[in-house]
A and B are shown apart, each in its own frame.
Chain A
Amino acid sequence: MGLGEGAQRRIAVVLADVLGEPLDVALAVAAFIDRYLRRVPFQAALGLRFVTWAITWLPLFFVGVPLPAHLLSTETRLRYVERWSHARFYFLREGFYLLKAIALMGWGAEPVVRARLGVGPMAAVRP
């Protein structure tokens, strides 16, 4: 199970707003999520894939706009994601944090991000 190219492009637009990163970094993070989905056990992949789908396609139920998340205005999209992150319903809120957690693993591995934070390259240290 993975994320098709279209799904990657759609969720990348959302991730760019969540992470405050340019779209090229967000696309790299979306590609990371695709690779992650292909490696983890099916049940975990299914959960994350469902969250990715839901965050992409459910703005109608959160902000009342009948458009997918990547087509919202930036302002509306941020309001939409904010509602996921503060949702009263536990599984919605945790769904957002699950996506954020996995996205951050891809984000934290990006050389441009690591250089900006001064944390050095990801490559292993050797004796």
Chain B
Amino acid sequence: MTDDAADFVVIGSGAAGASAALVLAEAGRDVVVLEEGPEVRDEDRGLGSHEAFMRLFRDKGTQVAMGRSVIPMLQGRCVGGTTVVNGAIVWRLPEDAYDRVFGAIGADRAVPLAALEARMDRIERDLAVSPASDRLLGGNGTTMKRGAAKLGWKAHAIRRNVVDCQGSGRCLEACPTKRKQSMERTYLPRAVGLGARILPDHEVRVVETSAARAVAVSGRRSDGSPFRVAARRGIVLAASAIQSPCILLRSGLGPRRHVGAHFRAHPGTAVAGVYREPVRLWEGATQSFEVDEFRSQGFKMEVVGLPVDLAGVRLPGLGADFQRSMADFPNMAVWGVQVRAEAEGHVAPAGDGARITYTPSRADMLVFRHGVRRLAELHFAAGAIRVYPGVHGGPEVLTSPDELPLLDALPLDPRDWSLISSHLFSTCRMGRTADDGVVGFDGAVHGVRGLWALDASILPTNLGVNPQHTIMALAMLLAERIAVA
């Protein structure tokens, strides 16, 4: 039984799936996009972190990687994917990162930087990308800017995909004013305008093959009923670095020793500082300013406008002490350090979901220790009167820059740290042959015709910068070739 058929079936509607669907539709192909999650309705937006988790995130925000510690792995699960619930950060892939990611595997001729940059130019035009204005820096961004200027660190306003942002500080809850140019607002409606069909609540479980060619996908709708969609020309896997390998493994496709292996991430942690003047985290863009000084050392710093409920989790104190800490919330700035971790993990299907195993390496933890020290230094330079490093076994609070050396002795066990990640990579990594990776330089899954993977799972390693822009540009480039293949 086949419920639908199209030239191309695109699995996933996030940054990669939406970009691929648009390009294929622009080429005149008949496209169906299958999205596991629901449509994002107006009434789902801006309802706070809890309702966002419940309605828009995978596993209702409870997805974790298990290893030496438990690390939340946040992903959107809705039409538009993680672009709906991210900080609207658009980072052009820097040349040094390109060399490390594509040059290192000899893909620089197949995936030239100039070709990616041309697609990035288009994406930036399409999504109205521009740096956050001073008005949108809010207290959080303005404070980081002041600290970075004092220390002479390289820093800048974050470039964001927004139009007339209202600065409501709720990017992570699906923009309540619909100013963020996420995929459900941009590329997906454009693809629909060209004839594409978006089917929410359709979870693909298996890719079906015939004579080593991908011919259809099957799965179940959110009401439990089965479906099958046939592909006349091909199937594009864009379900994320967690779901794409799971679909391949359930289907028995791809080089088995590489599918789901080599999982990489950008784990991060946050450091809060309390100031004499109001910061008002909830005003301005959620993520408006960043420090790029230490990218060559494997980490970058960003402001994170956390809501009161998430900001309070790792603050010390119980009862009256907790109340005193939270009374500082209006004067609190929260900044994150995000690490280009060297550790590799593994992803595999487990029950209805995925099992992610991942433990940051000792070298990664040394970068975290250094990053937290630098963040605390930045807070004091910006005028903080108290800094909360948030690491078990370290000082609960610092009240003077003279105490910064205490952070050089922070423990290196990941179990002492509160880490989180939303940038996930490399579980179907690109490689010239099946001995090297899961897909070739054209995104085609080794050993199967008519099946391509185009999402973050094919990036050979983690980028060291926010990945949405690179994911979209790569998907666009490869989809252009698929459309005419």
Q: What is A's interface to B at a CB cutoff of 8 Å?
A: 17-21, 36, 39-41, 43-44, 78, 81-82, 85-86, 90, 93-94, 97, 100-101, 104-109, 113-114, 117-120, 122-127
Contacts and interface: CB of A to CB of B under 8 A. Distances in A.
Contacts, number: 104
B312 interface: yes
A19 B402 CA distance: 31
Contacts of A119: 282, 307-308, 329-330
Nearest to B59: A41
Contacts of A21: 323
Contacts of A81: 318
Interface in B140-188: 166, 168, 170, 176-178
Contact of B330 (A82, A106, A118, A124): A118
Given A105-B50, A108-B48, A126-B177, A78 B318 contact: yes
A44 B64 CA distance: 10
Contacts of B59: 40-41, 44
Contacts of B135: none
Interface of B: 42-43, 45-50, 54, 59-60, 62, 69-70, 166, 168, 170, 176-178, 282, 307-310, 312-314, 318-323, 326-327, 329-330, 353, 392, 415, 418
A120 B314 CA distance: 22
Nearest to A114: B308
B318 A82 contact: yes
Contacts of B314: 97
A56 B387 CA distance: 32
A125 B309 contact: no
B322 A117 contact: no
* Residue of B69, B170, B307, B330 most packed against chain A (CB within 10 A): B307
A38 to B, nearest CB: 11
- Residue of B49, B323, B392 contacting most chain A CB atoms (<10 Å): B392
A108 B309 contact: yes
A36 B392 CA distance: 27
Given A17-B318, A18-B319, A127-B177, A101 B60 contact: no
Given A94-B70, A117-B330, A126-B176, A107 B309 contact: yes
A44 B62 contact: yes
Contact of A122 (B47, B177, B353): B47
A17 B319 contact: yes
A108 B311 CA distance: 10
Given A100-B313, A109-B309, A119-B308, A124 B318 contact: no
Contact of B176 (A82, A86, A125): A125
26 contacts: A18-B318, A18-B322, A19-B322, A19-B323, A20-B319, A36-B50, A44-B59, A78-B318, A78-B319, A82-B318, A86-B392, A90-B69, A104-B312, A108-B310, A117-B326, A117-B329, A117-B330, A118-B330, A119-B282, A119-B329, A120-B282, A122-B47, A123-B46, A125-B46, A125-B166, A125-B168
Nearest to B322: A20
Contacts of A20: 318-323
Contacts of A120: 282
A19 B308 CA distance: 13
Contact of A93 (B48, B168, B329, B392): B392
A107 B50 CA distance: 11
A125 B319 CA distance: 32
A63 B45 CA distance: 45
A108 B320 contact: no
Given A20-B323, A120-B282, A124-B45, A104 B309 contact: yes
A127 B178 contact: yes
